[in-house]
Chains A and B, each alone.
Chain A
Amino acid sequence: MDFISPPYLSRNASVRSVMARVLFALLPGVAVYACLIGPVILLQIAIASATALAAEAAMLKLRGKPLRPFVTDGSALVTAWLIALTFPPIAPWWLTAFGALVAIVIAKHLYGGLGQNPFNPAMVAFAACIVSFPALMSQWPSLTLETRFIDQILAVLGVSKELDALTSATPLDVLKTALRLAPGTPIAETLSDTKIHGFIGSRTWECVAAAYLLGGLWLLRCKVIRWHAPTGFLAGVVALSAVCWLFDPGRFAPPLFHVFSGGVVLGAFFIVTDPVSGCASAKGRLIFGFAAGILAYTIRVFGGYPDGVAFSVLILNLCAPLVDLMTRPPVFGMKKK
């Protein structure tokens, strides 16, 4: 019968239930991914999850924190899944594990653990790996070849001899190469290549993105996330890609293609919505999302990396406290008329 501080009632929300719902919302995307790209993603998720949980437990122990509430809060799993889903599915196992380690040990616990990290841990992992192992992080499975599951597994285990045969450039790579190397080639021609283009976005990946979208909308519905950050992010990508596309449709892909390629949808609903490293006010989240969207497109189209979501989010993480400071909402009774 200890002292309990009022209120005595609670909505009974918990960090665990929030994280569990995020994981649940990722399931459709994972399922479509496993079916269309390859079940190897499940193996990657397992590797990332196991590493992340082990790292979490070890760090908690080192920091003298209670294990149970934190290992089971689900936050490490969310990070692990995002790492698995943003890394190439045929990345070698140690790369995925390394990413998970970087995320949990450096990006999360060295900054103080749950709730304290200024950067999105999964994006820190992605950035660290793409900078350190650019080649491995760019090996995306070819979607036109009939790759067998066993080949993918061998690749992950690092014993595959002919890795090159499995991989091909991603649609975004193709676009960028076209933009750089053959400025004259009309983009429509490149895009008409069915190896790259699906219905509206990148071939096959657009289906995975649509599944993420489904999960994201569900998260919105059950109010785990708010609309501001995703809307801002998508608006940012669409706005800049539309401007470029209208300016020169010969050189730039249409907005919808960009939204349904790479990590944009996953980013919009599962990454820029990370509360810890993002903004807290509604206006701040809109700004955060929009700026990240603009940056993501810029890096993706004009930068040196295949996709821009990770770097744009990290840069915005850096700005979040400032944005929060500048978007502090007026309190009750203090509004200007």
Chain B
Amino acid sequence: MPSGLSRRLFRFKGGVEPDTHKAESSLTPIGKAPLPSRLILPLHQSVGACATPCVRVGETLLKGQRIGNADGWISAAVHAPTSGKVVAIEDRPSAHASGLPTLSVVIEPDGLETWVERAPLDVTARSPDEVRKALRDAGIVGLGGAVFPTHAKLTAAKSTAIDEVVINGAECEPFMSCDDLLMRERAEDVVRGASIFRDLLEPKRVLIGIEDNKPEAARAMRRAVEALGFDFEVVVVPTRYPTGAAKQLIRVLTGKEIPSTRRSPEMGVQCFNVGTAYSAWRFVALGEPLISRVVTLTGNVESAGNWETLIGTPFEEFVALGRPKPDTERFLMGGPMMGFEIPDLSAPVVKACNCVIAASSSLFPPPPPEMPCIRCGACAEACPHELLPFELYRFSRAQKFDKAVELSIDECIECGCCAYVCPSRIPLVQYFRFAKSEIDARRKEKAKADATRARIEQRKAREERLKAEKAERLAAAAVKTSGAGGGDGADAAKKALIEAAVERARLQREAHPPKNPETPASVEAAEKTPDPAVNPGDATR
């Protein structure tokens, strides 16, 4: 049923319908951003562990050469987006709300664009694990903004078969159109990319969700699916922010609601962004690692549009492509709902960067002063996770964090719907972020304390074990000496004594089995707590 016309859709509660402002940037085809004068590549560009640098300052690089190795399973490699020379490996300002510097490889392009040797990946000849590892080493991460390493999402849960693979082309954030343009212009490659995910996860269905404000993209994708002869369903969903958030899109397409305590494969579904599918295909078909992405440049600019941009392009060079108007006050990375102000334009475009918006106070008027909450309940009605934002706000403000946790603040995806509707103009999301970071810090502290306690217990157990073993040894030695020479009666008494000691030692050993408090953090834990340092923009997709 490739048309998908008859699929029953579900609704999620809440959500808002801001002006989409998509037309501005979606009228022109994707352009190719020119080679910048310098490329800055943060090594930490995905959720999970920071990649470890594998090049030296002064080294000459080829385009596509790996410059950072994935460190562990929840991590992804980083590559040189062009050929040139490594001029520095040092801390540089990052594309993060905090602007905190992060370890980066700085490359001076030689302008030759000489590629490393590229080879397509024969997926059929490789084991699934080899394919996953190859994707990790190609630096493929979620391009919706959450930058979760894609290979780590390509394993089905042990207990449940995958029913649906959801390909996310909803793109619900206003102003953004990079996924729209990608689907319109490169639909077949997106669909082929989706087929890689299908082959690894073996779902019953592949559903491609696209909001109904992108009819052209939906048509292009349908044509592509038909042309390639796949049985994927292209499903047009109502435009409603945040439909493009993974959990909301999964809800709309499948009716499943995934709580934050579970991973989606456990419920038989997994979701990928269309850009991720595209870059996975580029890697499999051409051997190209992830070195560029489509970025929307819009807002208060003379010419809005989308650019195929090399990862590492400094924002100052990138934003110049759109010719920002003189009254531009700031630049946002991500959409206007979940994005943040780029604190330093010398920071580079990263894999998480889907959109840059030039902002002026006429485009985004500064909010009036915050008023007290009047408990109107508008925020609760708008919250797609059916939380009670006004209560969360009350408890966050009063620093009653355990109450906030009780009211499921962990479920909050920081989508901003609550703040969008609030008549008192309370920056609710800001309060929630503060509360969450405090809660997180406390949890970490507690985990540390627990680990310390466990360590101490372990040491105590070890000492006791040693003591017991010593007693055993002594006892054994006593047997030997007594065996060497002695009367029969004394011998029997000694033997009984020894047996008692051995038994005591055994009992003690059983009471204190060796413990290992430092179990490595599980894969799941890492997946459930996306690292904020690399997870700044539209983290929902």
Contact = CB atoms under 8 A, between A and B. Distances in A.
A226 interface: yes
Interface stretch (A4-12, A86-94, A122-130): A4-12
A15 B368 CA distance: 11
Main secondary structure of the interface of B (DSSP, over half): loop
A9 B371 contact: no
Contacts of B359: 8
B341 A7 contact: no
Interface in B382-411: 384-388, 390-391, 407-408, 411
B430 to A, nearest CB: 4
A194 to B, nearest CB: 43
Nearest to A224: B376
B35 interface: no
Contact of A18 (B262, B339, B423): B423
B364 A8 contact: yes
B174 A9 contact: yes
Contacts of A278: 375
Most buried by B among A1, A7, A66: A7
B18 A13 contact: no
A278 B369 CA distance: 25
Nearest to A116: B372
B189 to A, nearest CB: 32
Main secondary structure of the interface of A (DSSP, over half): loop
A8 to B, nearest CB: 4
A335 B259 CA distance: 10
B336 A333 contact: no
B55 to A, nearest CB: 36
A115 B375 contact: yes
B411 A13 contact: no
Contacts of A281: 377, 380, 388
Contact of B374 (A17, A275, A332): A275
Interface stretch (A39-47, A214-222, A241-249, A323-331): A323-331
Contact of A275 (B247, B338, B366, B375): B375
Contacts, number: 136
A314 to B, nearest CB: 17
B43 to A, nearest CB: 26
A276 interface: yes
A335 B386 CA distance: 11
A200 interface: no
A261 B386 CA distance: 39
B375 A276 contact: yes
Instruction: Classify chain A's interface size.
Output: 35 or more
Instruction: Classify chain B's interface size.
Output: 35 or more
A229 to B, nearest CB: 10
A17 B332 contact: no
Interface in B1-54: 12-13, 16, 18-19
Nearest to B329: A1
Contacts of B338: 6-7
A275 B390 CA distance: 12
Contact of B411 (A8, A18, A70, A332): A332
A331 B388 CA distance: 9
Nearest to A335: B257
B196 interface: no
Interface stretch (B284-292, B413-421, B482-490): B413-421
A8 B19 CA distance: 12
A249 to B, nearest CB: 40
Nearest to A280: B377
A35 interface: no
Contacts of B388: 280-281, 328-329
A114 B336 CA distance: 30
A250 interface: no
A255 B20 CA distance: 49
A333 B364 CA distance: 33
Interface string A266-302: 0000000001101011000000000000000000000
A175 B306 CA distance: 74
A2 interface: yes
Contacts of B260: 333
Contact of B259 (A15, A280, A333): A333
Given A7-B338, A10-B367, A226-B377, A332 B420 contact: no
Contact of B423 (A14, A331, A334): A14
B362 to A, nearest CB: 12
Contact of B385 (A5, A113, A331): A331
B534 interface: no
A332 B427 contact: no
A173 interface: no
Contacts of A335: 257
A2 B329 CA distance: 10
Given A7-B420, A113-B372, A334-B411, 8 more contacts: A6-B338, A7-B338, A8-B336, A9-B337, A14-B424, A276-B375, A331-B259, A333-B247
5 contacts: A4-B341, A8-B359, A69-B369, A278-B375, A333-B259
Q: What 10 A-B pairs come out closest when comparing CB atoms?
A: A333-B259, A7-B416, A115-B372, A5-B430, A13-B423, A5-B427, A333-B257, A332-B385, A8-B336, A8-B364
